[in-house]
Structure formats: C-alpha cells, structure tokens
C-alpha cells in the first residue's frame, strides 16, 4: 500500500511514495488541488504486469534497484570484497517531514548488504534531492562505483533539451527527440566542463519558451559527472544525474558515508522560460547570493595580456574610472616568473619584474580613483617551470612511471595533499591580507588526467572537495572578498561553485555574435547578475570577427557588465560612448539583476530575450539578428507574459553607435515611443525596424 508524502513548492507539487523502500516520486508537476487524495495518485498509475517480464514492476525510485528488478541503469553501483552486496534492496525505516511541508528525509536500510540509504527532498522554488549511503558493516569496506539521483519523467515528455559546448562556445542549446533508448552525457574533465554542462531538460514534444510541459535537472557539482535520460522498453522515462567516480575513488570504511551532490530540478507547464526562472529563484534565495549592485568592471586580459607596465595600467585605470567603471581587475601576469603562460603558476608572490614596487602603487592608484581592485589567480595549478614545482614535484597530480600530459604547459596541483593545500591557502590568505583586494578571479585552465601523487590513485573527487574547502576557508577568512569562478571561460558554471562565488566567467569568447547564444544557454541555469559579460575589442581575438560597439554593448548589457578592451586605444568619442553604455547599465541594473529572465521564441536567424520586473511594471528586452533572414524586415516582436491590462510605454534604448539598417523609413514609433497594453504586446507584438545581421535592438518598457 502506498504511503505518500506531499510537498508543496512555490511552482510545483511533489508526491513521494515512501512505502517502496527507497522513495519513489509518484507525482511532480503543477500544484495539486487541496482536495486531491494523494494516496490514489500512486494507485491511479499502478502498472499492469505483462508477459515476458518479472512478476513485479520495479518502481523508478530515487535510487532504482537492479535487485528489485529495475531494468534500467541502477542508481547505486558498488560491491564488497568478493563481489557481494552489488545489488542491494532497501526497506523503509522511517521518515521525517518538516513542519512547513517543504522538506522530507527518508531513511531506508538493507540489512543483508549492511548498507543504509537516506534521501533528502526539499521543495521550495525548485526541488532539491540528495542521497546518502552509509556502510553499516563493522568490518568490511564498501567500494562504491557510483550513486546517482533518478527522477521519473512522464511518458509524454518525449523531447530532450541538452547542450553542446567547447572552449569559446559554451552552452549551446540543442533539442534531441527522445523516442527510445538512452541519451548520456559524461564528463571526465575534472571540472564542470565546457562540453557537458550538468543540465538537462525533458518536455512535451515541441515545447517552447512559453508553452508545453518541461522538467529540468541540474547536478550541482564542479567535478566529473554523468547525466542520463533513458526510455525503458516498457515506455517509462527517467533522468539520472550523479557524480562520475573514477575506479577506487570512494571506498567506504565501516561507518563511513557518501553523500551525492545536490540535484536541483525544476518544472513548468508553460514552457522553458518559467522552468528556468526557478533555477534563478533558487540561487537568489541563498543567503550567499550577491545582494549589492554588481559593479561594472574592467579586466586587463584582452587589454594588455601579460604586458604589465605600471604606468600603462594606471592610465588604463584612469580611463576606466572616467567612464564610470567601478572595479579594476588585474588578470594573469602579476606573479612569479609569469611573463607568458609557460611558467610561474604556483608562485603566488608579486613578480619583481612586472611590479618592482609590489602591487601597492597600482592598488593605491585604483582605489584612489574610487574603484575596487581585483586580481586573477589560478590556485589549483602548477607549471613545471616554477619554484613551487622545483621544490615539490610530488605535489602535482601525476602518476609515477608515466610521462605527464601537460596542458597549457601546466599540471594540476594535488590539493587533496594537505601540505599542498596548506601551502596554497597560506599564500592566497597572505595575498588577501596584505593587499586591499575586493575581488578574486579564480581561474582553472586544464583537465585532470593523472592520478594523485605517489599513490597513483585517481584524485578528481578529492580535488573537487579540496577546491570547495579552499574556497570556503578563504571565504571565512575574507568574507568581504568576492570570488569569480572562471575555468578557461565557462568550464566551471554550476550551482555548487556558486555557493562560494558571486559570478562566473561565462566564456573566453567576447565575440557578441557567439555570446548571444552562449548567454542564452547560460540563462537556462544562472541569472544575469552572476553571468560575467564583457565588451571586448572591436575585433574578437577568438573568432577574428568585427562588431560595432552597439552590438557588443547590447549583448553584454544584461550580465554583470565588464569591459575587456584597451581603453587607451579609444578616441574621445568612443570613450564617451562607452561611458553612455556604462551609465545606462547602472541605471537599469536594479531591474536587469533582479527581474525575471525571459527568452522569446523566434526563427533561428534571430535571438530575443529580456528581463521583466517581478511585478511586470517594467522590462528591458533585446532582439538580435544573428544572420541574414528570409525577410529584411523582422516579424513583429511578440512579448508574452507581461501584465495584460497594463499600458507600457515602449522606447528604443539609446545604445550608442547603433546601425541604421536597411530601412528607407523606420516604424513611426521609434522616434517618440508608443504605448501598448501587455495584452497587445503578447498577441500582436511590436514591429521593429530592419537591422543588419550581427546587430541588436534594445527596448525599454515602463
């Protein structure tokens, strides 16, 4: 008999059957009527027994069990010496529900395998689930191969939303039909990865931004992971997410436990936009989420690269301050022997070559201009050509007997090694203690490939946990220092690193055309205030494309805005234009960084998105032409989801230097604005002027 628990969230309801041992989700979807008889939900979905299958229908529980007859991928894999306890079956023990019905903890046990499993559910803005496996044996260790979280998905959700990616082309959304079999994405990079963001959606076929049922799940974890979507031959579907463990990475000694990373899951009956807003609300509800205005910054990387000259940096700071920039971030090149990317990682002391009088003259200059000072570090790495490596080659993640694979001339430092960890912590602590530093750009530029020091054992899990400890420890010691998560651009974007960091570097690609898609994908997981977005030089160094300032500015405008461009090369007019963009962004950032992110459905030649104020009193939206389209004139821009009865005054936002486009006459409203109701805008939209490919138009509605 079903024993069900009902959790009521802000946007969805969850009904869990705890009689199945490991709990099983029997309903996760639109809020249910108060009159619903939840015990009948499970009964209503009771499946028939068919010929050619076991005499039970094993449930798709949170950790489905091979030993119970589940025909898909078990949620738990592991064994004891001799190969026993490889297919456990857990029986219910007890559960605890929070007074406000938002949380439940379910306890189960397998007395034969001497294992117990605890599952934690919380439903608020989003659903979060974790599982904890404990080795109850007093004598034998348990070798864990993997523990994942499984979410059953209704059978009509026959389309998958996933992502492709690589360096400078992160988070490209892709749709895949989900007819049969499985879709898998596995990450072995040792960081969240460019290629396989731990994020997946499933929805009713053809779901759009504003229609259809959508379920989404994210694994909040910055190491290796597996994401699976499987349709069983009996028609049922599920998503499964978890840490990918290398052989031998988790060996549970008697009494020890392993807890999965959190799976954060969202659902909407009205399309993808509403679903992904729940990811944003979930993040925004955390106490650690930034609540102060996000400073506009200048980053020195694409301005000067490794060429650190104090006078030039000071002039750059002067120019930055003059256009209203609020934070100056000194990127790679300030430390050790780091005159290029071949040496110096690990030597976290100020380079006497680059900065003979230390960083103080520059920091004093920057702060004297009223800006904050930020600095780049890459603490998890070491160059073989460094004092640190020469002193401690055994601190690198290498495997004795094998030649090391280098990437960008560097190795991973084994932070699972306490001495290495303490050494790096000490240096970072001193750096922050001895300087007036408000911001750290924390980079990580290579994959894990080798084992852990002398033991040769795989070290990715230990490294991931050590990274979190390092960030936590620094955060405790320097609570006012903000940290950015960067990993060759966007290879470390996830909700777990965002517990410890206030923004991500979304991509090393500052090409506005590429960024339109990258940021659209990123917006499916993270809100704009944590999405680093910079105005780069006119010619992008990663693609060679040229874009005018209007397109670059309109594209970076919604994120945490930065400038990564040598402002010393600009004419007075160009500087003024940057100043106008910065001022406009500052004026609108309370809306941009607190409102509801919306994306619009368009033909592939276009990309449109925006931010609506939570009370729908105001909005900023962007319409970009990515490539040439069938018609020179774009279709009327439909804006669903506004307040239907409210009248909105619509004006074009004057991002400077905007191109006129191929119009002989532009729509009349462009001159003075126009007032339309939310209902009109949703049903009929507003006609835009024709604009050239690789340009965008921004509208303000108020």
Using CB under 6 A as the criterion, which residues of the chain lie in contact with ligand DGJ when the complex forms? 301, 331-332, 341, 376, 443, 445, 486, 488-489, 505, 508
Task: Name which of 7 and 563 has its Cβ closer to ligand DGJ.
Answer: 563
Q: Residue 648 to residues 252, 586, 592, 689: CA-CA distances in angstroms?
A: 60, 22, 17, 19
Half-sphere CA count of 586, side-chain side, radius 13 A: 13
Task: Name which of 159 and 443 has its Cβ closer to ligand DGJ.
Answer: 443
Task: Name which of 236 and 338 has its Cβ closer to ligand DGJ.
Answer: 338
Task: Name which of 261 and 532 has its Cβ closer to ligand DGJ.
Answer: 532
The two beta strands, 172-177 and 257-259, are unpaired
Q: Residue 335 to residues 338, 426, 550: CA-CA distances in angstroms?
A: 6, 15, 36
Sheet with 606-612, side-by-side order of all strands: 596-600, 606-612, 619-625, 695-701, 647-652, 674-677
Helix (H, G, I), strand (E, B) or coil at 157: coil
CA 456 to chain CA centroid, Å, is 31
Nearest distance in Å: CB 335, ligand DGJ: 12
Nearest distance in Å: CB 297, ligand DGJ: 12
Q: Residue 106 to residues 45, 98, 165, 260, 432: CA-CA distances in angstroms?
A: 22, 12, 37, 15, 43
Nearest distance in Å: CB 511, ligand DGJ: 14
Nearest distance in Å: CB 341, ligand DGJ: 6
Dihedral of the alpha carbons of 583, 585, 588, 592, in degrees to the nearest 10: -170
- Helix (H) and strand (E) counts for the chain? 13, 37
Nearest distance in Å: CB 489, ligand DGJ: 5
Two tokens at 484?
A: 């950015």
Phi/psi of residue 278, nearest 5 degrees? -70, -35
Active site residues: 443, 508
Nearest distance in Å: CB 486, ligand DGJ: 5
Nearest distance in Å: CB 408, ligand DGJ: 8
Task: Name which of 135 and 299 has its Cβ closer to ligand DGJ.
Answer: 299
Nearest distance in Å: CB 524, ligand DGJ: 21
Tell me the residue number closest to ligand DGJ, measured at CB.
Answer: 332
Task: Name which of 342 and 617 has its Cβ closer to ligand DGJ.
Answer: 342
| 185, 140 contact by CB (below 8 A) | no
Q: How far apart are CA 247 and CA 457, in angstroms?
A: 9
CB atoms within 10 A of CB 457: 16
Task: Name which of 167 and 183 has its Cβ closer to ligand DGJ.
Answer: 167
- In this structure, what DSSP letter does residue 400 have? T
Two tokens at 575?
A: 């500087």
The two beta strands, 250-252 and 142-153, are antiparallel
Closest CA to 461 of 261, 683, 197, 238: 261
Task: Name which of 89 and 541 has its Cβ closer to ligand DGJ.
Answer: 541
The two beta strands, 372-377 and 327-330, are parallel
| 362, 330 contact by CB (below 8 A) | yes
Task: Name which of 335 and 376 has its Cβ closer to ligand DGJ.
Answer: 376
Q: How far apart are CA 70 and CA 64, in angstroms?
A: 6
Q: How far apart are CA 459 and CA 687, in angstroms?
A: 56
Nearest distance in Å: CB 564, ligand DGJ: 8
Q: Terminus-to-terminus CA distance in the chain, angstroms?
A: 55
Nearest distance in Å: CB 299, ligand DGJ: 7
Task: Name which of 65 and 508 has its Cβ closer to ligand DGJ.
Answer: 508
Strand runs labelled E in 136-179: 142-153, 159-164, 172-177
- In this structure, what DSSP letter does residue 689 have? P
Task: Name which of 316 and 688 has its Cβ closer to ligand DGJ.
Answer: 316
DSSP letter string over 78-143? EE-GGG-SSS---EEEEEEE-TTSSEEEEEEEETTTTEEEEEEEEESSSEEEEEEEEE--SS--EE
Q: What is the CA radius of gyration of the chain?
A: 27
Two tokens at 608?
A: 């449109």
Nearest distance in Å: CB 449, ligand DGJ: 18
């Amino acid at each position: 008999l079903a024993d069900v628990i009902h959790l009521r969230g802000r946007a969805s309801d969850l009904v869990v059957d705890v009689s199945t041992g490991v709990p099983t989700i029997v309903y996760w979807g639109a809020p249910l009527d108060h009159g619903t008889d939840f015990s009948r939900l499970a009964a209503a979905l009771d499946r028939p027994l068919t010929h050619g299958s076991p005499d039970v229908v094993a449930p798709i529980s949170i950790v489905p069990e091979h030993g119970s007859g589940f025909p898909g991928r078990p949620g738990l894999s592991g064994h004891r010496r001799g190969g026993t306890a490889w297919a456990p079956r857990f029986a219910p023990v007890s559960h605890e529900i929070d007074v406000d019905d938002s949380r439940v903890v379910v306890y189960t046990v397998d007395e034969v395998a001497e294992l117990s499993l605890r599952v934690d559910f919380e439903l608020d803005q989003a659903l979060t689930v974790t599982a904890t496996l404990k080795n109850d044996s007093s004598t034998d260790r348990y070798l864990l191969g993997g523990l994942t979280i499984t979410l059953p998905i209704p059978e009509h959700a026959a389309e998958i939303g996933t992502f492709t990616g690589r360096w400078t082309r992160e988070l490209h959304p892709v749709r895949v039909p989900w007819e049969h079999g499985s879709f898998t994405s596995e990450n072995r990079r040792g960081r969240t990865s460019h290629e396989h963001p731990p994020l997946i959606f499933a929805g009713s076929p053809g779901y759009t931004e504003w229609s259809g049922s959508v379920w989404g799940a994210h694994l909040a974890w910055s190491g290796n992971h597996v994401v699976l979507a499987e349709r069983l031959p009996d028609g049922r579907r599920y998503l499964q997410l978890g840490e990918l463990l290398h052989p031998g990475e988790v060996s549970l000694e008697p009494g020890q436990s392993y807890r999965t990373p959190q799976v954060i899951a969202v659902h909407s009956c009205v399309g993808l936009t509403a679903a992904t807003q729940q990811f944003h609300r979930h993040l925004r509800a955390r106490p650690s989420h930034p609540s102060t205005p996000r400073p506009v910054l200048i980053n020195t990387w694409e301005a000067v690269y490794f060429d650190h000259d104090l006078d030039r940096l000071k002039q750059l700071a002067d120019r930055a301050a003059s256009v209203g920039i609020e934070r100056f971030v000194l990127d790679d090149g300030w430390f050790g022997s780091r005159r290029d990317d071949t040496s110096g990682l690990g030597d976290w002391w100020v380079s006497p070559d680059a900065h003979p009088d230390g960083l103080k003259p520059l920091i004093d200059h920057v702060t004297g201009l009223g800006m904050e000072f930020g600095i780049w570090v890459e603490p998890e790495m070491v160059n073989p050509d460094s004092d640190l490596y020469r002193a401690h080659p055994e601190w690198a993640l290498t495997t004795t007997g094998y030649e090391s694979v280098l990437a960008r001339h560097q190795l991973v430092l084994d932070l699972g090694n306490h001495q290495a960890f303490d050494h790096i912590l000490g240096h970072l602590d001193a750096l922050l203690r001895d300087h007036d530093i408000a911001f750290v750009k924390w980079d990580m530029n290579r994959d894990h490939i080798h084992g852990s020091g002398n033991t040769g054992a795989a070290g990715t899990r230990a490294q991931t946990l050590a990274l979190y400890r390092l960030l936590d420890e620094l955060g405790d010691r320097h609570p006012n220092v903000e940290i950015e998560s960067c990993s060759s651009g966007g290879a470390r974007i996830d909700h777990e690193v965002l517990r410890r960091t206030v923004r991500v570097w979304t991509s090393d690609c500052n090409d506005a055309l590429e960024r339109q898609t990258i940021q659209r994908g990123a917006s499916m997981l993270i809100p704009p205030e944590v999405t680093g977005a910079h105005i780069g030089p006119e010619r992008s160094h990663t693609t060679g494309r040229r874009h005018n300032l209007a397109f670059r500015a309109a594209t970076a405008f919604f994120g945490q805005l930065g400038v990564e461009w040598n402002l010393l090369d600009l004419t007075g007019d160009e500087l003024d234009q940057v100043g106008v963009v910065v001022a406009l962004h500052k004026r609108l950032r309370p809306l941009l960084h607190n409102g509801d992110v919306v994306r619009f459905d368009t033909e592939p030649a276009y990309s449109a998105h925006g931010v609506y104020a939570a009370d729908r009193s105001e909005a900023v939206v962007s319409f970009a032409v990515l490539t040439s389209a069938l018609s020179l004139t774009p279709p009327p821009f439909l804006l669903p989801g506004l307040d239907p009865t409210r009248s909105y005054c619509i004006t074009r936002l004057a991002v400077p230097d905007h191109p006129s486009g191929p119009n002989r006459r532009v729509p009349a409203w462009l001159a003075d604005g126009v007032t339309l109701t939310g209902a009109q805008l949703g049903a009929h939209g507003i006609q835009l002027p024709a604009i050239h490919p690789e340009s965008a138009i921004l509208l303000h509605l108020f």
